[in-house]
Amino acid sequence: MKAKSIAKFAAVCVIFALLAYVAVFGLECMGKVVPASFDEDIGIKRGFDLAGGSVIVFEPNIEGDYEVTDDDISAAISALVLRLDSQGLNDATVSAQGTEVKRIRVEIPAETDPDAAIDYLGAEASLSFTDPDGNEILTGKQVEEAELSFDQNGNPAVSLTFNDEGAEIFADATARSIGKQITIYLDGKPLSAPTVESAITEGSCIITGEFTSETASQLAQQIQSGALPFALKAVSQNTVGAQLGDDALNKSLMAGAIGLLLVAIYMIIFYRLCGLVADIALVGYTAVVFLIINGFGIQLTLPGIAGIILTIGTAVDANVVIYERIKEELKNGKTLRASVDSGFNKAFSAIVDANITTIIAAVVLWALGSGTIVGFAKTLFVGTLVSMGSAVFVTRFLLRQLVGFGSKNPKFYSA
């Protein structure tokens, strides 16, 4: 029994050591590469505040008396996001700016040539509808409006309205394409390819499919962006170097490492072997968090680093709650194994409740926030989820194996 516990404990330690090594130095095996987390080229993506880059502010290039609405700005933002994605710049951020003068702010990490970015971002969006033979039948000039709608069953859909010219062309095209697809392109990229069920002669139609309200709204904005009667002009541009970001990243990582070391020492002093178990779990937790951030392409920002450090504290806090419960059970005269099991059971609901509320807050920030707030929310979400699993499952498993070593003197487990 003792040998089995030692083997299990050692196996977990080896696994955590390997995870930490891979997170720090990366790994290449059988043609598959896991990059080192902080490799500047292929590691964790750095946000604008760490990588530097270009900041460009656009405003609509209006001719005549056309009044730009908030919906127009949302549609233009959707077009910019699509263009950035097509260039592989999905870590850029696009946001509305201003109220009286409506503008759009674009931050592109690591971009050192803002003029090139302006060229491909500022052009008027090109929307086209093609028939089954690939011939263009409509452009954005014939589309009056695209918006989120609902079909007869209450499912999310996209409603399109055409002007008189577009209605006539579309009626003829759909009459010739029943049972076939008409494809919608924005800037040459296919957005949707709905199948024509009947000739559409009313000058409006509804696109149905496996939509959620979010995806239907996104498609409507993308189509609407192609119908906007304006291009975008750059009113300001600025390039920010990565020097400040490198300094900030190095200092933040150093602060995090010092904090982690101090916490580890504190846990060993006050909780002895229990503290050692918490420190081992903390190493595994930190490695897993960085591997997840790297693997899922989550952009790391300074607030994001703060989120990671915050969840380290949360992970330790959960262990403290558990260990204090164990100390209470030992004082009540229970055996060490019974105290460990009872301490975890009594602390479980408090730990889960505390972490669930944090996860809810992170999800709200993620969904409603923008810019670096989103970076903080993502790392807070990932870190809290991993720390809860670490405290509830990993720490408990290791502590049970430790009890199996035969070291049952309560003085080994708390000060």
Higher pLDDT, 242 or 139: 139
Domain count within the chain? 3
> In CATH, what number is assigned to the domain containing residue 216?
3.30.1360.200
Residue 397: closest CA among 13, 3, 1: 13
Spatial separation of the C-alpha atoms in residues 92 and 370, rounded to whole Å:
12
**Residue 149 domain flag:** no
Question: Is the per-residue pLDDT at 101 higher than 80?
Answer: no
Pair 256, 358 in one domain: yes
Examine residue 333 and state whether it is found in any structural domain, yes or no.
yes
Helix (H, G, I), strand (E, B) or coil at 98: coil
Q: DSSP class of residue 391?
A: I
Are both 340 and 254 inside the same structural domain?
yes
> Does residue 112 carry a pLDDT above 70?
yes
* 254 and 372 inside one domain: yes
Domain end position, chosen among 239, 272, 296: 239
pLDDT tens for 57-82 read 999 888 777 788 888 888 888 888 87
**Amino acid identity for residue 108 in this structure:** I
| End residue of a domain, out of 205, 239, 273 | 239
Residues 222, 147: Cα–Cα separation, whole Å: 10
* Contact assessment for residue 128 and residue 136, using Cβ atoms and an 8 Å cutoff: yes
Q: Do 371 and 296 share a domain, yes or no?
A: yes
C-alpha Rg value of the chain to the nearest Å: 28
Q: What's the CATH number where 105 sits? A: 3.30.70.3400
Say whether both 89 and 201 belong to one domain: no
Based on the domain organization, do 281 and 361 belong to the same domain? yes
Residue 337: which CATH number? 1.20.1640.10
Residue 146 lies in a domain: no
Same domain as 93, residue 37:
no
Clarify whether residues 266 and 215 are in a common domain.
no
| Residue 367 located in a structural domain | yes
The structure's pTM equals 0.69
Does a structural domain hold residue 227? no
Question: Would you state the pLDDT for residue 68?
Answer: 85
The answer to whether residue 210 scores a pLDDT higher than 80 is yes
Instruction: Tell me: pLDDT of 54 over 80.
Output: yes
283-339: pLDDT as tens digits? 999 999 999 998 888 888 888 888 888 888 888 888 888 888 888 888 888 888 888
Domain assignment present for residue 255? The answer is: yes
- Write out pLDDT tens, residues 195-209: 999 899 888 899 988
CA dist 272 and 412 (Å) reads 6
346 and 315 housed in the same domain: yes
Residue 162, in any domain of the structure? yes
**Could you tell me if 413 and 272 are in contact, meaning their C-beta atoms sit under 8 angstroms apart?**
yes
User: Residue 95: which pLDDT band, with cuts at 50, 70 and 90?
Assistant: confident
Q: Within this chain, do residues 346 and 361 fall inside the same structural domain, yes or no? A: yes
Q: Are residues 209 and 134 in the same domain?
A: yes
290 located within any domain: yes
Confidence label for 18 from pLDDT (cuts 50, 70 and 90): very high
User: What is the 8-class DSSP label of residue 179?
Assistant: T
182: containing domain: 127-141+156-222
Strands 53-61 and 103-109: antiparallel
Give 260-287 pLDDT, tens digit per residue. 888 889 888 888 888 888 899 989 999 9
Instruction: Examine the domain organization and report whether 264 and 388 are in the same domain.
Output: yes
First vs last Cα of the chain: how many Å apart?
27
